[in-house]
Amino acid sequence: MTPQDFDLLKVIGCGGYGKVFLAREKSRERVVALKVVSKDELEKQHLQDEIRILENIKSRFLCKMYHSFKTSQKVYMALEFLPGGELFALMERVQFLSENSARFYIAQITLGLDYLHNNHILYRDLKPANVMIDKDGNVKLVDFGMSKFNFPKGNKTSTFCGSMEYMAPEMITEKEYGHAVDLWALGVLLFDLVTGSPPFNGENDEELEHEIRTAKIEFPKGISAECQVLIKSLLVRKEEHRIDISQTKRFDFFKNVDWAELEQGRGNMTPPWKPVLSGEEDVKYFDSSFTNMPLEPVDNDNPFEGFDLAALGSDLNEDSEVPRK
């Protein structure tokens, strides 16, 4: 496979080391998100791990990769296009979600993390910008650049990485840590979804670190006892006392969730919001600062410069509200 096997349609993301395009795979007439990275990045472990993970995962709650290939200068990954954009952008639009809406998204994310952990993968970068929405309104985890491959449960590592607002105390304090950091991030995300902001904030990194290590979690009015109990159990500062995924599923917050049915895409849970799309090439839920970029090469030697999958913003339109009740 070569770059000539794709027609580029739009830029949908860019960042420090590459670019992502909405593209059409000519042989299959399939629309994909084509991630293009400098080949220099291939020497770095994070990109090697990302490609290995994408080659090996198979879950409805994780973004899939169709192909990967390289040229003399670039590495290409043809990924599933998720036209609903980021959960982050949806939150920017609606500020916060009802607990019913949050329950749907958190349940699907929990199953995505469960799959990763059971397949010896530590995610390490759960945040709203790394959760994207498909055409039916379901969510999938994207961007495995921070993930650790071949990492069985019980293993420990010490790399400092991810987004600080979602970092667990053991990572902040540079201790060894394991899969429990993903559960901490899940608790932060649930709090963020139902209140409109993360539980820990600071004017700078030092203040934020202090909050993560010491601050009491304060809930606004209207958050149910079931939701509060789950969040508090996920945000236990001692890693060894934090709940794991199997325990998370048994909390009352999820009492009406049939996990087996949800995992198969069945059951009585329906997405709280479904993107309104004019066709399979619709990019209305992506940041216009990307989609308005010209497709022409920057220069002949480096045609696809700049990309970060986590930077895929979105611009929700007026007919795409999420029901709060």
Using CA atoms, how far residue 229 sits from 105, 120, 233, 278, 296, in Å, is 18, 28, 6, 41, 52
Residue listed under structure tokens 């994070």: 46
Using CA atoms, how far residue 116 sits from 140, 164, 175, 324, in Å, is 12, 21, 22, 30
Query: Cβ atoms within 10 A of the Cβ of 3, count?
Result: 15
In this structure, the chain runs to a length of: 325
**How far apart are alpha carbons 67 and 37 in whole angstroms?**
14
Candidates 196, 204, 232, 200; CA nearest to 213 is 200
**How far apart are alpha carbons 107 and 263 in whole angstroms?**
10
Cβ(270)–Cβ(322) below 8 Å: no
Using CA atoms, how far residue 131 sits from 82, 89, 183, 310, 312, in Å, is 10, 10, 15, 9, 10
Task: Exactly one of 114, 125, 143, 308 is catalytic; name it.
Answer: 125
Task: Identify the sign of the CA torsion 38, 39, 40, 46.
Answer: positive
**How far apart are alpha carbons 184 and 180 in whole angstroms?**
6
35 has binding-site annotation: yes
Cβ(248)–Cβ(236) below 8 Å: no
- Catalytic (active site) residue 125: yes
Calculate Rg over the CA atoms of the chain: 19
The set of catalytic residues is 125
* Residues that constitute the known binding site for ATP: 35
* Residues that constitute the known binding site: 35
